[in-house]
Chain A
């Protein structure tokens, strides 16, 4: 409870845009962290936005013909290509505006996808779109598995998690590989803005979306989206699970602006033990002390890596010139 008071301006929620661009009546699971992320993102983006959605939970639960939950212009094409469709939308808006065929107003193309559609099947399109410097934002809603098709393992699934395609069993502790670090891949694309966020810190997330919205060029936000169904935890713990991901150092919230790393949600002096995060989730229930120690060591190492970047890496602008 103390962390809320520390990290949250208590009455700030009353100041956010009251417009709901993602309407109730959508068919997301109870306590869906991803639907919450979408809802908050739309509030931060405002109406001059076009959403390009990869196939996945959010597309399925929001667009059952003849209905739509979207109150922003929205397009879904396929699984791997929200970034490339987005680059076409951006190019189209740009050229039509230049030719005077649409109003002379800044409309942002925002592509979204789940972790499967982003870090696995969609990474080529994402990399291409970011490399080409389209004026667009890409938001990955990472719920750490293919939840739409029934909790299959993805490149974003964390080590040790049990999924329906890499399950825990008497001869296996679940996923054997570590989570793919796509935000770092995006930093390597020299994007002006990359951020890691979680709807458990809604104002932090919305501020990051607003910042990205203003950037002229490509930007990327990686949003940890708690999935009570796939993570096997009670739906009322969605927000708490996201908070524990941050406080244990599994998912520190930071941004990389002009190459400069900055922690945006203050981390505790001493990280909470990883067990606090793992034990509330059914997908990690099978883990023994050895695996938990491996995860703890890895989290410590990754956290130190990040903190040294925060401390030592200068902004790219500072590196210009002589």
Chain B
């Protein structure tokens, strides 16, 4: 449970349990769930963005060179990107 910040006291519990920091779930890094990671072969990548659109985590984005790369802080290693990459540019590699 990285970055878990429970309120210390009941007084610090937000009124109604509301959360006022949209998207702060990103403080929690799901990368630790992964046992395999996607590796991109840029020579095969056609920059179509299919991996980006199919990623359930929304953790793939375009880098400066236009390649779609996975943010390994969040990638859970599901392998959808590798399976759906029709030019075969992504392969899943065991962690560790």
Contacts and interface: CB of A to CB of B under 8 A. Distances in A.
Direct contact of A and B (CB under 8 A): yes
Interface of A: 1, 4-5, 8, 10-11, 13-14, 16, 18, 20, 22-28, 30-33, 35-36, 39-40, 62-72, 199, 202, 228, 234-240
15 contacts: A10-B48, A14-B52, A23-B22, A24-B25, A24-B73, A25-B29, A25-B30, A27-B25, A39-B56, A66-B6, A68-B19, A71-B22, A72-B22, A235-B80, A238-B78
Contacts of A26: 25, 30, 57
Nearest to A20: B58
B69 interface: no
Contacts of B17: 65
Contacts of B78: 30-32, 228, 235-236, 238
A299 B27 CA distance: 45
Category for how many chain B residues contact A = 35 or more
A239 B71 contact: no
A10 B86 CA distance: 10
Nearest to B14: A66
B28 to A, nearest CB: 4
Nearest to B84: A239
Given A24-B58, A31-B56, A202-B54, A67 B27 contact: yes
B53 A66 contact: no
A67 B28 contact: yes
Interface in B35-81: 46-50, 52-59, 61-62, 71, 73-74, 76-80
B84 to A, nearest CB: 5
B23 A68 contact: yes
Contacts of B47: 14
Contacts of A23: 22-26, 58
Given A25-B25, A236-B82, A30 B53 contact: no
Interface of B: 5-7, 14, 17, 19, 21-30, 33, 46-50, 52-59, 61-62, 71, 73-74, 76-80, 82-84, 86, 92
List the 3 closest pairs (A to B, CB-CB), nearest first.
A236-B79, A13-B49, A31-B78
Nearest to A8: B50
B54 A239 contact: yes
B14 A68 contact: no
Given A13-B50, A31-B56, A71-B22, A25 B27 contact: yes
B57 A24 contact: yes
B93 to A, nearest CB: 13
Contacts of A1: 86
Given A30-B33, A236-B78, A70 B23 contact: yes
B53 A24 contact: no
A70 B26 CA distance: 10
Contact of A63 (B19, B46, B58, B86): B19
Contacts of A70: 22-23
A68 B24 contact: yes
Given A10-B48, A33-B56, A239 B83 contact: yes
Given A25-B28, A239-B83, A68 B21 contact: yes
Contacts of B22: 23, 68, 70-72
B86 A4 contact: yes
Contacts of B92: 236
A4 B46 CA distance: 15
Contact of B80 (A24, A65, A69, A236): A236
